[in-house]
Amino acid sequence: MDNLVELENVSFGYGTRPVLRGINLTARRGQVIAIMGNSGCGKTTLLRLIGGQIKPTGGVVRVAGQDVGGMDTEALYQLRRKMGMLFQFGALFTDMSVFNNIAFQLREHTRLPEDAIRDMVLMKLHAVGLRGAADLMPSELSGGMARRVALARAIALDPTLVMYDEPFAGLDPISLGVTGNLIRRLTDTLGLTSIVVTHDVQESLKIVDYVYFVSDGVIEAEGTPEDIRASGLPFVHQFVHGEPDGPVPFHYPASAYAQDLGLAG
Amino acid sequence: MTSLLQPLARLGRRTVEGVSRLGYAARFFLAILLRSGTAFGRFGLTIRELYFSGVLSLIIILVSGLFVGMVLGLQGYETLQTYGSEEVLGVLVALSLVRELGPVVAALLFASRAGSAITAEIGLMKATEQLAAMEMMAVDPIARVVAPRFWAGVISMPLLAGLFSAMGIFGGYLVGVVLIGVDEGSFWSQMQANVDFEEDILNGFIKSLVFGVAVTAIALFEGYDAPPTAEGVSGATTRTVVTSSLAILALDFVLTAFMFRGVS
């Protein structure tokens, strides 16, 4: 089957407050997909739905043909062994060294001898260029290094799907380029499918195959990076060019300014 | 009318919230018990936590035990000599410690030293998405992180209370016998004759076991339930110490009422 992840008319809300409405999204095998949108638009919620951390209130989320929303915990855990996730700030286990962070899943889910685990961990670390940092603790890493270690940890069990929550947030320009290239390179060499949630337009348009724009809980636009750059849609234009005002207003909704200042007649 | 009803509505809302939180805590406690397989199957995980909550609490427990025992020695001698019965000083020190002060004070110290550390650690693991990351790796955080800490707390609490009492008796001996000069023979022999294994030591042990369950469960729940912010974690840590301390004292009264009825 060509599509690894499919969302069909998916809705989600907390209580009565809707977060996502009528989302249709597809990620084909081997693709890097970006989900973009302003802060708080529901991007991370989409990842949580795909990972089964929350269940949709409407529609179907399918990963490898299986309905994620209808799974029990055991089935979900089985599915998650084929998924990797890079959290926003790495979410490395702070009481473990870099080596043990990567070895964590191998030790939890396999009965491999320690020699084999060591080799596998070093290979993953080598892939992200941090073999020399194996003995460091997470507190000794820079933000960019922590992100790369988390990436190595996400691919430790050779997953088929890797999700990235804001992988570029808070990185310096060099680390930004390194992380972007790693996502593309690992996807191609390991045959992964990657879903990147980000608001870093320029960096992600360089590496992704397809982009979904989410605004206010719905998909506003979608297309290849070329389509997006050429898009005439006001929201996409504002987002890609970083304009302060437009369809996404600069001002938070408020009563009339003059009235607030007591100048209204 | 509305303003009159408002406090009532607030009270109602708080009660409902409190009951629902209590229910959530009970389910959490049950989940720990049901998912304790890993804590025993891979006992190394529990041993590691025993080091953090037990071994690292040793200094505060031993030093406090020594001083509490020394104070008991002084105060006890002061009172007993009025009646000319200073030879029972050993009994007074030992019974006070083994029945009450050992389990209770050790548990209070354990709540503030290890309990707060557990809450802060679990709360920060949640705030930095480490628990969510674990779930996404198909590893159950309750089985892998929470249960080993729970059993480590339950195991270490009676041991710490025992050490507290032993150190306290030594402190009482130092003050009573070495410093003041109470007869050493009667200090120990009276203690040996009047401290009963079942009535005193075993009951003290049961108390500390119950306190261990209460303190560790409260600390873990507060950490797991903490809002994932700096403010949330600090509030949860405070709540752990306050709630555990109150729970220890309340449980102590209930247990004492059951255990020492009619015991002379």
Q: Which whole number is the average pLDDT over B219-241?
A: 95
pLDDT digits (tens, 9 = 90+) for B7-47: 999 999 999 999 999 999 999 999 999 999 888 888 999 99
Q: Which whole number is the average pLDDT over B74-103?
A: 93
Asked if A42 is an interface residue toward chain B (Cβ–Cβ < 8 A), one would say no
Residues in chain B with CB shorter than 8 Å from the CB of A105 are 137, 139
User: A46, A20 in Cβ contact below 8 A?
Assistant: yes
Q: Which whole number is the average pLDDT over A168-189?
A: 85
Query: pLDDT value at position A169?
Result: 82
Residues in chain A with CB shorter than 8 Å from the CB of B136 are 51, 53, 80, 83, 85
- Give the confidence band of B262 by pLDDT, cuts at 50, 70, 90: low
Q: Which residues contact B65 (CB under 8 A, 6 or more apart)?
A: B97, B102, B105, B106, B163, B164, B165, B166, B167, B168, B171
Task: Map residue A10 onto helix, strand or coil.
Answer: strand
Encode A52-84: b = buried (16+ Cβ within 10 Å), e = exposed: bbbebebbebbbbeeebbebeeeebbebbbebb
Query: pLDDT value at position B264?
Result: 47
- How far is the C-alpha of A203 from the C-alpha of A249, rounded, in Å? 24
Contact B132 A105 (CB under 8 A): no
Between these two residues, A235 and B142, which has the higher pLDDT value? B142
pLDDT digits (tens, 9 = 90+) for B138-183: 999 999 999 999 999 999 999 999 999 999 999 999 999 999 999 9
Task: Map residue B111 onto helix, strand or coil.
Answer: helix
Residues in chain B with CB shorter than 8 Å from the CB of A91 are 128-130, 132-133
- Give the confidence band of A258 by pLDDT, cuts at 50, 70, 90: confident
No. of helices (H) and no. of strands (E), chain A: 10, 10
Q: Which residues contact B226 (CB under 8 A, 6 or more apart)?
A: B119, B122, B123, B126, B127, B232, B233, B235, B236
Task: Map residue A254 onto helix, strand or coil.
Answer: coil
Query: pLDDT value at position B86?
Result: 86
Note the maximum CA span of chain B: 75
- Give the confidence band of A218 by pLDDT, cuts at 50, 70, 90: confident
Contact A92 B130 (CB under 8 A): yes
Lowest-confidence pick of A16-30, B89-103, B164-178? A16-30
- How far is the C-alpha of B138 from the C-alpha of B132, rounded, in Å? 10
- How far is the C-alpha of B95 from the C-alpha of B97, rounded, in Å? 5
Asked if B135 is an interface residue toward chain A (Cβ–Cβ < 8 A), one would say yes
Report the interhelical angle of B147-173 vs B116-127 (nearest 10°). Answer: 160
- Give the confidence band of A265 by pLDDT, cuts at 50, 70, 90: low
Instruction: Say how many CB pairs under 8 Å bridge A and B.
Output: 43
- Give the confidence band of B261 by pLDDT, cuts at 50, 70, 90: low
Using CA coordinates, name the residue in chain A closest to B124: A94
pLDDT digits (tens, 9 = 90+) for B97-116: 999 999 999 999 999 999 99
Between these two residues, A245 and B229, which has the higher pLDDT value? B229
**pLDDT at A256 exceeding the cut of 90:** no
User: Hey, what's the torsion of the CAs at B172, B178, B184, B188, to 10 degrees?
Assistant: 20
Using CA coordinates, name the residue in chain B closest to A73: B138
Asked if B44 is an interface residue toward chain A (Cβ–Cβ < 8 A), one would say no
CATH 3.40.50.1820: does it fit domain A3-93+160-231? no
Q: Which whole number is the average pLDDT over B78-87?
A: 90
**pLDDT at A2 exceeding the cut of 70:** yes
Residues in chain A with CB shorter than 8 Å from the CB of B124 are 94
- Give the confidence band of A38 by pLDDT, cuts at 50, 70, 90: confident
pLDDT digits (tens, 9 = 90+) for B176-185: 999 999 999 9
Contact A87 B133 (CB under 8 A): yes
Query: pLDDT value at position B101?
Result: 95
On the 0-12 / 13-18 / 19+ scale of CB atoms within 10 A, A94 is: middle
Contact A108 B133 (CB under 8 A): no
Asked if B139 is an interface residue toward chain A (Cβ–Cβ < 8 A), one would say yes
| Angle, alpha carbons A70-A75-A79 (nearest 5°) | 100
User: B145, B48 in Cβ contact below 8 A?
Assistant: no
Q: Which whole number is the average pLDDT over B134-139?
A: 91
ipTM of the complex: 0.83
- For residue A117 the two structure tokens come to 């685990």
Query: pLDDT value at position B1?
Result: 59
| Chain B from 64 to 123: CB within 8 A of any A CB | none
Query: pLDDT value at position A191?
Result: 87
Residues in chain B with CB shorter than 8 Å from the CB of A162 are none
Residues in chain B with CB shorter than 8 Å from the CB of A76 are 138
pLDDT digits (tens, 9 = 90+) for A82-127: 899 998 888 999 999 999 999 999 999 988 999 999 999 999 999 8
- How far is the C-alpha of B169 from the C-alpha of B172, rounded, in Å? 5
> Cα A99 to chain center, whole Å?
23
**What DSSP string describes A199-253?**
S-HHHHHHH-SEEEEEETTEEEEEE-HHHHHH---HHHHHHHHT-SSSSS-SSPS
Task: Map residue B227 onto helix, strand or coil.
Answer: coil
Closest C-alpha to B153, from B203, B113, B200, B102 = B113
Q: How far is A46 from chain B (nearest CA, A)?
A: 14
| Chain A from 108 to 167: CB within 8 A of any B CB | 108-109
Report the interhelical angle of B203-225 vs B147-173 (nearest 10°). Answer: 140
Contact A53 B128 (CB under 8 A): no
Across all residues in chain A, what is the average pLDDT? 87
Using CA coordinates, name the residue in chain B closest to A153: B137
